[in-house]
Structure 1
Amino acid sequence: MNISEEYRTEPNLAYAVVFGSVMVLGLPLNAVSLWILLRRHSLKSSNAIFMVNLAISDLLLVISLPMRVYLYATGTWPLSSKACIYITMLFRNNIRSSSIFITLISVDRLLAVVYPLRSRHLRTASNAWKSVALVWLFVLVVNIPEGLVLAGNLKRVNESVCFKIHRMQSAQAYLHLVLLVTLLTVNLVSTALVSCTLHRRLNDSAKVNNKVNVMLIFAMNLVMFTICFLPVSVGLLTIKRHEITPLVCLASVNCCLDPLLYYFSLDAFWKKKEDVDLAREQ
């Protein structure tokens, strides 16, 4: 079988509809989230900084979706192989950066709930910006070898098969999976510690609602890992090329779920900065 035939992209309206729906929902949700975070929080709290960068990561994914919609609606790729590489890497970067920022949010909430006084010197805007810079640097560095591998694969086939070449090299795929499993473990441990801490304070009925919101944050973080991130990461190692696209669709949904973390799980999202500072002291 000719390799171009193996990777041939046929029009698939179902995939086009899924990616189109994610784009239509994800763009306004993340844009509004970003606007509210910047307007009301002024990037002076570590949690707000992590959420702003999570929203940016999701917006970068959203802007790559129109070409996926076009490809699956028409079966043709109108741009160059370089454009295919850039757009493919935006998707992979979103999984990596979003999973790390979600974990940083979990750790920040862990420190705020379990070690509120001892962690003050750690949960500063300066430290948050340093962490964010390291995350984006890591993402960019990882792009170099993966981009080269993807470019080499595209040279062997026609450009119209863009997005059908999902597999990484085995070493890269294993490292990607190890990263996600490690981050998931951190989230699980953080969830357990926060849950135990809040359980010991159940008699404080005045803060029950706030405790529910805190646990919703951790629950949504775990949902994001188990439903959106891990399946596609495992699929890169185990699933045939033509069968992984549904998992890619599922992974892209994370950019619509992340705003729920802001809207429904964090009371402080709607409050001005002075109210946030007061709430965090409690």
Structure 2
Amino acid sequence: MYDNLTNSTCIDDSEWKSDSFRLLVSAVVYGLVLVVGLPLNAISLWILLRRHGLRSPGAVLMINLAASDLLLALSLPLRVYFYATLNWPFGAGTCTTAILLFRINIRTSCIFITLISVDRLLALVFPLRSRSLRTSAFACKCSSLVWILITILCIPEGVNLYSALKACHHHHLPCFEFQVAAKGSRITGLGQAIFLLILLVVNIVSTVMVIVVLRKRPSGDATKVNNKMSVMLIFVVNMLVFIVFFLPFTLQLLTLNDKNNGEVLRAFICLASINCCLDPLIYYFSLDSFWQDKGKIQTDAASQSLSRSQDRL
């Protein structure tokens, strides 16, 4: 989320090129995430739009999460080029755009993953009382609000970053290693860290509540057991994404002014990028019949409903 941690705005090549191992690892990790994440999220988004559409709140939230991950993947070729060549010939505007796309993904991914967990929680624990709340229209409104707020939040950051980049006249601009001493950056970093920790707590509470509810319900046939496993896997994947990819990054934001914090945070930013490769697992386990066509899903649902009605008779 942050590439700006020291008091100096412009840095020499010798300062950021000294840690050659970290730069090489960054190029490899971003390259692997690009190769895996770009096609995986493009295919997931296509499946979600074509086979599920906006017919459920869960599908709406997952479409937005896939779109967010796709934005991140589309920005990674520039990061791979920079860390592979240690050169940035594309100018301040392109650098600013690439960094902002990354920040938008981290922020929106955290929110959409949490909303997916809350949606699943309401569907399991409060299925009747949450029926009026769990609608596609409401999910679309929430998603639009998330995108608008995050975009507004990124505008002043982008203006500040672009101005600082333009102020430096290095021939080889250190784009993703660039350092900006933004006013109030520590307050902003603390605010974002606290917000991410709140989202983590929401995911933990949701997971605990779902475990309790599922353990109280009787395990009937094999189908119900498989459904329980799928539900649990949703929350396990969500927790894994937060704890492994977002929590180290969040905790590092809380120590924003520590010595050498910039290099450590960039390493965690690299780690956080891997989340876009794991998110498609959420789509697979969250949506019933992920690969089926919408018409077939509706037919199957109607057949099951008819079968249950005949059983009652």
TM-score (norm: length of structure 2): 0.82
Matches within 5 A, 1:131-280: 131-157=142-168, 158=170, 160-165=173-178, 169-206=185-222, 207-236=224-253, 237=256, 238=258, 240-264=261-285, 266-273=287-294, 275=297, 278=301
Matches within 5 A, 1:36-47: 36-47=47-58
How much has 1:220 moved relative to structure 2?
0.7
Query: Structure 2 CA distance, aligned partners of 1:96 and 1:166?
Result: 21
User: What one-letter code is carried by the residue in structure 2 that aligns with 1:142?
Assistant: L
Q: Which runs of 4+ in 1 moved over 6 A?
A: none
The answer as to whether partners of 1:165 and 1:241 remain within 8 angstroms in 2 is: no
How much has 1:40 moved relative to structure 2?
1.1
RMSD of aligned residue pairs (Cα, Å): 2.5
How much has 1:268 moved relative to structure 2?
3.5
* Partner SS, residue 177 of structure 2: coil
- Which region of structure 1 is more displaced relative to structure 2, 161-170 or 37-46? 161-170
Cα distance per residue 1:5-26 (max 9 Å; x no partner): 2753466332211111100100
The answer as to whether partners of 2:9 and 2:178 remain within 8 angstroms in 1 is: no
Cα distance per residue 1:241-260 (max 9 Å; x no partner): 23333212110000100012
Aligned length: 281
How much has 1:59 moved relative to structure 2?
0.4
Of 42, 47, 60, 2:71 maps to 60
Percent identity for Structure 1 against Structure 2: 50
Query: Structure 2 CA distance, aligned partners of 1:77 and 1:260?
Result: 34
Cα distance per residue 1:123-148 (max 9 Å; x no partner): 11110100001000111111122223
* Partner SS, residue 11 of structure 2: helix
Query: Structure 1 CA distance, aligned partners of 2:282 and 2:9?
Result: 46
- Which region of structure 1 is more displaced relative to structure 2, 42-51 or 242-251? 242-251
* Partner SS, residue 4 of structure 1: coil
Q: 1:2 to 1:266 in 2, by over 3 A?
A: closer
* Partner SS, residue 63 of structure 1: helix
Q: 1:138 to 1:2 in 2, by over 3 A?
A: closer
User: What one-letter code is carried by the residue in structure 2 that aligns with 1:232?
Assistant: F
The answer as to whether partners of 1:228 and 1:254 remain within 8 angstroms in 2 is: yes
Residue 28 of structure 1 pairs with residue 36 of structure 2: no
How much has 1:266 moved relative to structure 2?
4.4
Residue 73 (structure 1) aligns with: 84
Query: Structure 2 CA distance, aligned partners of 1:79 and 1:202?
Result: 60
* Partner SS, residue 127 of structure 2: coil
* Partner SS, residue 66 of structure 1: helix
The answer as to whether partners of 2:41 and 2:70 remain within 8 angstroms in 1 is: yes
Query: Structure 2 CA distance, aligned partners of 1:95 and 1:278?
Result: 36
Query: Structure 2 CA distance, aligned partners of 1:56 and 1:265?
Result: 17
Residue 8 of structure 1 pairs with residue 16 of structure 2: yes
Q: Computing the radius of gyration over CA atoms, which structure comes out larger, 1 or 2?
A: 2
The answer as to whether partners of 1:8 and 1:160 remain within 8 angstroms in 2 is: no
Query: Structure 2 CA distance, aligned partners of 1:231 and 1:90?
Result: 20
Residue ranges of structure 1 left out of the alignment (5+ in a row): none
The answer as to whether partners of 1:7 and 1:161 remain within 8 angstroms in 2 is: no
Query: Structure 2 CA distance, aligned partners of 1:87 and 1:235?
Result: 22
Query: Structure 1 CA distance, aligned partners of 2:15 and 2:152?
Result: 28
Query: Structure 2 CA distance, aligned partners of 1:109 and 1:278?
Result: 19
Residue 130 (structure 1) aligns with: 141
User: What one-letter code is carried by the residue in structure 1 that aligns with 2:126?
Assistant: Y
Query: Structure 2 CA distance, aligned partners of 1:7 and 1:162?
Result: 13
Q: 1:198 to 1:273 in 2, by over 3 A?
A: farther
Cα distance per residue 1:215-257 (max 9 Å; x no partner): 1111111111111112123324255223333212110000100
Residue ranges of structure 2 left out of the alignment (5+ in a row): 1-7, 309-313
The answer as to whether partners of 2:207 and 2:235 remain within 8 angstroms in 1 is: yes
Query: Structure 1 CA distance, aligned partners of 2:9 and 2:136?
Result: 54
